[in-house]
Amino acid sequence: MEFFTDTTMIYIALAAIFGIFMAWGIGANDVANAMATSVGSKAITIKQALILAAVFEFAGAYLAGGQVTETIRKGLVDMDAFGTNPDMLVWGMLASLLAAGTWLLIASMRGWPVSTTHSIVGAIVGFAAVGVGVDAVNWGTVGTTAVSWVFSPVIAGVVAFLIFMSIQKLVLNTKNPLQNAIKYGPFYLFMVGFVLSLLTTKKGLKHVGLELNESMEFLLAVLIGIVIALVGRVLIGKVKFDQQAEKRFHFANVEKIFAVLMVFTASAMAFAHGSNDVANAVGPMAAVIDVAQSGAMAAKANVPSWVLLVGAIGIVVGLATYGYKVIDTVGHDITELTPSRGFSAEISTAMTVVMASYTGIPVSTTHTLVGAILGVGFARGIAAIDLRVVGGIFMSWVVTLPAGAFLSVLFFYLLRGIFV
């Protein structure tokens, strides 16, 4: 394996550079739309969104991202097809990172909330099918992933619709909406903490070497849910209400309560996104490093901690430098968002995405969130949705898969020409 002995450090360096580029694209586009509902509803500022993203994206990636990373790393392609020529896999994964990152740069510059998952899956399938052969693609895994892209926004939309309807029934459409917001807010927070921690403990903690039995998992999830609910109750108690604002807008103080709740759902959203979408940058990097260091496909390999760090840093920088464009589209343009509406969209998206991470399916956080926002919009009536903006978003989704595949094939042949 003289080929790999001479080029190992070059491959690892390229994997790191292209991985940071891809992670930057995830931050600029995907994390931006994940935080858009919180920023768009004025529940948190861009600066606060950046801090929450930095902490919880990394936590989600490290604690609950292992399953999805495995799917991206070796689930989409048949590793046996590269057994005699592992350098092809290296070029392909590098090309996929570069292709997906390039498309995300284009989309972010135009403010399109496209899917990083579509970008990387399209890129990997593209290089494998065209550069190696259609038999090199695990079409079963690709099919399962594609089906999840349809169902995840529908599920999130239905859940968001139901949650917002429950908020209307329990809080907004009552005689004392403010008192009811204070009363029921902690129960909604318990739901956030319980569901996310239960799914994380079931899969994530095994990834970091800690295994619990089912009863302990359930008990831990209940305890975390209670702690989050209590912290939320304390913060709600510190909210200063504005009677003048209440006269101008009947639900002004109620929305202040939901703004507090959205700090928690924004954190949950970042955690959910990290658990699923960081794999889009880390998975191909891990595949390149595996092969570059060993000269062959490893049956099982851990993702180096520095790779997760590279992914987390790239994501935060992307959000800080270019995320505002996509935040504008998702947070303001689809439908008017208030904290109560944004809360409904975020909690349903986080639940749907973490459930997908639990099963190892790389879903589109973008699709899921937009589906949830549409669900909230439908709860207010079809007139509340800007269908022109939605149509433009759908078109950008359709273009993403072939764009990722085309660019990946182009870069694959370019890299092969350089290294052969």
**pTM of the full structure:** 0.76
Model confidence pLDDT, tens digit, residues 89-145: 889 889 999 999 999 888 888 777 777 878 888 898 888 888 778 888 888 877 877
DSSP of 141-190, one letter per residue?
A: HHHHHHHHHHHHHHHHHHHHHHHHHHHIIIIITSS-HHHHHHHHHHHHHH
Question: Using DSSP, how many helices (H) and how many strands (E) does the chain show?
Answer: 17, 0
Cα angle 51, 54, 56 (rounded to 5 degrees) comes to: 105
What pLDDT shows up at residue 187? 92
Q: How confident is the model at residue 361 (pLDDT cuts 50, 70, 90)?
A: confident
* Res. 409: pLDDT tops 90: yes
Considering 33-37, 39-43, 141-145, the range whose residues carry the highest mean pLDDT is 141-145
Model confidence pLDDT, tens digit, residues 369-406: 878 888 887 776 565 566 676 676 677 777 888 888 89
Question: Of 34, 28, 14, 32, whose CA–CA distance to 267 is shortest?
Answer: 34
Distance (Å, whole) CA 286 – CA 290: 6
Q: How confident is the model at residue 288 (pLDDT cuts 50, 70, 90)?
A: confident
What pLDDT shows up at residue 240? 82
HSE of 191, CA atoms in CB hemisphere, 13 A: 16
**Residue that wins the pLDDT comparison between 325 and 271:** 271
Handedness of CA 44, 45, 47, 50 (dihedral sign): positive
Q: How confident is the model at residue 342 (pLDDT cuts 50, 70, 90)?
A: confident
Residue 241, both tokens = 């209400």
What pLDDT shows up at residue 334? 55
The pLDDT mean for the chain works out to 78
Q: At what angle do helices 339-359 and 46-64 cross, to 10 degrees?
A: 20
What pLDDT shows up at residue 412? 92
Query: 312 pairs with which residues across the strands?
Result: none
* Res. 227: pLDDT tops 90: yes
**Residue that wins the pLDDT comparison between 334 and 317:** 317
Model confidence pLDDT, tens digit, residues 45-77: 777 877 887 788 777 776 666 555 666 655 677
Model confidence pLDDT, tens digit, residues 97-110: 999 999 988 888 87
Question: Of 73, 92, 76, whose CA–CA distance to 412 is shortest?
Answer: 92
